[in-house]
Amino acid sequence: MNNNPVIWADYPDPDLIRVDDTYYMVNTTMHFMPGCVILQSYNLINWEVAVHVYDALDSTPDQKLEDEKQIYGKGMWAASLRYYKGKFYVCFVANDTQKTYLFTANDITGPWIRHEIEGFYHDCSLLFDDDDRIYIIYGNTKIRLTELKDDLSGPKPGGLNRIILRDTEEHYLGYEGAHFYKINGKYYVFFIHVLKCGHARRTQACFVTDSLEREFVGREVFDDDMGYHNFGIAQGGIVDTPYGNWYSMLFQDHGAVGRVPVLIPLHFENDFPVFDKKATEYIEIPSTRPGYEYKQLVGDDDFIYEPDPNGKVHLKDIWQWNHIPSNDLWSVTEKPGSYRIHSRKICSNINYSVNTLTQRVMGPTCEAIVTLDGSKLKEGDYAGLCFLISSYGLIALTKEEGQYYLVMLARDTDDKSIFGNLIDNEPGVEYERILVNGEKVTLKAKGYFIDNKDECEFYYKDGEEWKKIGITHNMVWKMDQFVGCRFGLFLFSTKEIGGTADFSKFRYNILK
């Protein structure tokens, strides 16, 4: 059975470390909250959530989806994960606030303490040197090395600060996505790169020096697409096993699913990394904890929760909200066994709905099923199940002139490129509307992600039979949201506020 890519879901920009027998991997989560997910593994193949570093980042109006503000495609990008002298460090920038954040913890599960680093360090990577000096490498095309103060609060006065690399070749994407290491006395920096010459796909490059004041010398070190649409594999960290082997975790674009992590073996020859020429579909790595049973990255929920001693409810790690939630507008305790959303604003479309609760989709095919009680919907409310992406599709229960209807709605785009902006006020096209007698419905959303097919369909349960509603909709990954699509449970109002939707018996199935 294939196990590479190691996760067929959106876990982009990986950086990874090993602490004793445990591997940790951080990934970009952008606008989703809680954010900055760190996964853990004992074999680099199977992964589970260790922690989300923060519940909310800066609580700006944009991060909270106030009015029609939003941070789609922004938020946290490309974190650097390090462990030094008993402490964990996570460093990243947020493209909406233009700040550089540093989170520290003595244990991977936290508590994580928030700091800021003066300056903005795009796609940064930290290095703690043997003499306790601290450096950060960052940038695009022009790569800069800056020495930081001992407390990491900003650049060190009089410290090393130099450009180490300028991309002089004609390129689609200059060197970026830095990953910085010191191994056996030499300094290594890895980058993603896309040249215009040749096949114009992502490649991985590496540059090395024996002194941070000397020239970095290097080249492309990995160029493969696993036979998948010329989508190269690049940008990520490297890690060694307790058994002395080295691996790199990179990512590959997989259409609407998002950017998926791919594991590549490597070794060193003459102090330079040599990657396997091809990414294999199967990798076997001994586990440091044989027989360990991993928690699922996605899954079911019956919404039975008990508050902690402080009265706070912690949802399963499988869930993230589309932005910072409005905590007074959701509950799993008001009606035990249900995820309840209250409406408090008028929305033009689902992108601006508060408290949309999401899970990543998983390839090759997956489906989500949920029961919805819409008895407390207001006129013009839409509540239901969606694939959240720029070109979203959804099935919703809506109320109009006292009658309940099921609708299938989708946003199409004729522009199949990754560019373009669909974060606007257009609601999409309603492809079918069905009058329903009851206020309670069971809904299903199914996604097909084989060979970049990226199609979704929606169904409702009529007795014991599933009936399709609307069209088979094509989804397109775009840079305006910059993430793979998600299953989402949502409520948004178009006419009046005050409605409520209750979701229960959520089921998630990964299909072959």
Token pair recorded at residue 235: 């940008």
Task: Let me know: does 79 contact 13? Beta carbons within 8 Å.
Answer: yes
Residue 226 phi/psi, 5-degree rounding, is 55, 25
pLDDT for the residue 423: 56
Q: Give 315-324 pLDDT, tens digit per residue.
A: 999 999 999 9
pLDDT at 421 over 60: no
Whole-number Å distance between alpha carbons of 286 and 266: 16
Q: CB neighbours (10 Å) of residue 353?
A: 24
pLDDT for the residue 68: 85
Q: List the chain domain ranges.
A: 121-275, 320-511
Q: Give 224-283 pLDDT, tens digit per residue.
A: 999 999 999 999 999 999 999 999 999 999 999 999 999 999 999 999 999 999 999 999
pLDDT for the residue 388: 97
Alpha helices in 154-303 (DSSP H): none
Using DSSP, state whether 213 is helix, strand or coil. coil
Q: What is the mean pLDDT of the chain?
A: 95
Helix H, strand E, coil C: the string for 318-354 is CCEECCCCCHHHEECCCCCCCEEEECCCECCCHHHCC
Q: Which of 165, 77, 153, 147 is nearest to 115 (CA)?
A: 153
Cα 168 to Cα 165, 173, 318, distances in angstroms: 9, 12, 43
Average pLDDT over residues 303-322: 95
Q: CB neighbours (10 Å) of residue 450?
A: 11
Which of 47-61, 184-198, 361-375 has the lowest average pLDDT?
184-198
pLDDT at 416 over 60: no
Whole-number Å distance between alpha carbons of 181 and 292: 30
Give the E-state strand segments of 118-211 in sequence order. Answer: 125-128, 134-140, 142-148, 161-166, 171-183, 186-195, 203-209
Q: Confidence band (pLDDT; 50, 70, 90) for 348?
A: confident
Whole-number Å distance between alpha carbons of 199 and 206: 19
Whole-number Å distance between alpha carbons of 37 and 11: 9
pLDDT at 470 over 70: yes
77 CB-near residues (< 8 Å, 6+ apart): 13, 28, 30, 92, 93, 94, 95, 122, 123
Average pLDDT over residues 273-295: 97
Query: Selecting from 2.60.120.200, 3.30.420.40, 3.30.1300.10, 3.40.1350.10, what CATH number does the domain 320-511 have?
Result: 2.60.120.200
Average pLDDT over residues 351-355: 95
Q: Give 441-460 pLDDT, tens digit per residue.
A: 999 999 999 998 999 999 99
pLDDT at 120 over 60: yes
Token pair recorded at residue 306: 């008990």
pLDDT for the residue 414: 58
pLDDT for the residue 415: 54
pLDDT at 198 over 80: no
Strand partners, 217: 208
Query: Selecting from 2.115.10.20, 1.10.10.10, 2.40.30.20, 1.20.210.10, what CATH number does the domain 121-275 have?
Result: 2.115.10.20
Whole-number Å distance between alpha carbons of 339 and 481: 25
Whole-number Å distance between alpha carbons of 341 and 500: 6
Which of 124-138, 187-201, 489-503 has the lowest average pLDDT?
187-201
Beta strand 171-183 with 161-166 is unpaired
> Which letter, b or e, does each residue of 239-262 get, where b requires 16 or more Cβ atoms within 10 Å of its Cβ?
bebeeeebbbbbbbbbbbbbbbbb
pLDDT at 200 over 90: no
Token pair recorded at residue 133: 């000096």
Which of 301-310, 362-371, 476-485 has the lowest average pLDDT?
476-485
Scanning the structure block, which residue is given the tokens 């408290």? 355
Residue 79 phi/psi, 5-degree rounding, is -75, 155
Rounded to two decimals, what is the model's pTM?
A: 0.96
pLDDT at 491 over 70: yes
Task: Let me know: does 282 contact 4? Beta carbons within 8 Å.
Answer: yes
pLDDT at 419 over 60: no
Q: Give 75-117 pLDDT, tens digit per residue.
A: 999 999 999 999 999 999 999 999 999 999 999 999 999 999 9
pLDDT for the residue 426: 72
pLDDT for the residue 508: 98
Cα 300 to Cα 28, 350, 367, 397, distances in angstroms: 24, 23, 11, 22
Whole-number Å distance between alpha carbons of 328 and 311: 13
pLDDT at 430 over 90: yes
Strand partners, 400: 403
Task: Let me know: does 509 contact 367? Beta carbons within 8 Å.
Answer: yes
Q: Confidence band (pLDDT; 50, 70, 90) for 420?
A: low
Q: Give 56-68 pLDDT, tens digit per residue.
A: 999 999 999 998 8
